[in-house]
Amino acid sequence: ANPQTAKSDILMDRLDERYDPLPGYMKAQILAGRSLVSLKEELESKLAKYRLKKARAFNGLVHYYNNQNNIQGGTDSIFLLLQQDGDLQSKYRLAMLHLETGNYQQGENILNNLPAQYNLQGAQLTAHQDMEGFYNLATEVLASDNGWRAATPTQIQQLFALESAPASAYARNVLISIGEIIYEEPILMPDLLKSSEILEEYNKLLAHGPPSILEVYPNPAKDYLIIGYILDMTEVSGIVEIMNLKGDIVKTIPITEPVDKLTVLTQNWKSGTYIATMVVNGKIMDSIKFTLID
């Protein structure tokens, strides 16, 4: 099974919705893929690590230059830092920095160029439009020299309507600063039992094992027995070999059909335990013990 299948809740739900449900052992084989890491995932993990290191270093520089006690001309250094960084979020921060310093037109020009510069589509384009809405609203409010505390009810409702990040974060901070909302940062706790639940389900399904391909009945048998089998293949070339516990071959039956039931007469056989083994295309598919009685 594709190891990525087990990591998709959507695909696993689809398996549960099948008209003909998967056997437990097959689902266990799929769930075993949860612990496998593909080369793509390994590269994505390394990329995420490097991006995190870059973000920490970048934000550390911004924090350093924001502290005017450390360096003169800190704002100019931040402008230069944001201009040289190619990340989309840095361009938004650059536009907001122009807003803070009163360079409204320069910030607007940056926002206007982003859709073409970064080929924004779908959710990114929606988030960008919200960002433009916030910027235009902020320009309107701040240009009046009265600040956000003089914002009209309509303008406040416009802030509440911004749902896409990063505009929603800027809007939320404004609403907090003017006392419109009280916000508590959510604390996300890991689900410590998630992995154990998956492992428990996997072990439970795996314990069932695959269904037997070969069956013999009645068992114990006397004068005859029936050997039945079901193979998941269209072309079959093989045998069912019956031997005693000494390893002597008692009977060999050729098989050519994927599903069949074979009757074997055993009146002249000695009582005792026998083993029937199915070999298809040179591969042992299944073995089963049966007993003959007098």
As to burial, measured by CB atoms within 10 angstroms (0-12 exposed, 13-18 middle, 19+ buried), residue 165 is middle
Q: For residue 145, what pLDDT is reported?
A: 73
Q: For residue 237, what pLDDT is reported?
A: 85
CA 158 – CA 148 distance, rounded (Å): 13
Higher local confidence (pLDDT), 106 or 237: 106
pLDDT tens digit string along 30-39? 776 666 677 7
Higher local confidence (pLDDT), 248 or 42: 248
Residue spans of the domains in the chain: they are 5-177, 214-292
Enter the tokens of residue 49.
Answer: 């690590």
As to burial, measured by CB atoms within 10 angstroms (0-12 exposed, 13-18 middle, 19+ buried), residue 45 is exposed
pLDDT tens digit string along 3-23? 565 566 777 777 777 776 666
pTM of the model: 0.56
Mean pLDDT of the chain: 84
Q: For residue 204, what pLDDT is reported?
A: 67
pLDDT tens digit string along 153-209? 999 999 999 878 889 999 999 999 888 888 888 888 776 655 555 667 666 655 655
Q: For residue 3, what pLDDT is reported?
A: 56
- Angle, helices 167-177 vs 153-161, to 10°: value is 140
- Mean pLDDT over 72-92 rounds to 88
Q: Is 270 left (phi over 0), alpha (psi -120 to 50) or beta?
A: beta
Q: Which helix (H) or strand (E) holds 12?
A: helix 9-16
Tell me which of 34-43, 83-92, 164-173, 259-268 is least confident. 34-43
Q: Looking at the predicted structure, is the pLDDT value of residue 272 above 60?
A: yes
**Residue type for position 135:** Y
Q: For residue 77, what pLDDT is reported?
A: 87
Q: For residue 53, what pLDDT is reported?
A: 95
pLDDT tens digit string along 209-253? 566 788 898 889 989 999 998 887 777 888 999 999 888 999 999
CA 133 – CA 164 distance, rounded (Å): 11
Q: Which helix (H) or strand (E) holds 142?
A: helix 122-142
Q: For residue 69, what pLDDT is reported?
A: 62
Enter the tokens of residue 247.
Answer: 């390893």
- Mean pLDDT over 96-106 rounds to 91
pLDDT tens digit string along 108-152? 999 999 999 999 999 999 999 999 999 999 998 888 777 888 888
CA 95 – CA 104 distance, rounded (Å): 8
Q: For residue 149, what pLDDT is reported?
A: 84
Task: Assign a CATH topology to domain 214-292.
Answer: Immunoglobulin-like (2.60.40)
Q: Looking at the predicted structure, is the pLDDT value of residue 49 above 90?
A: yes
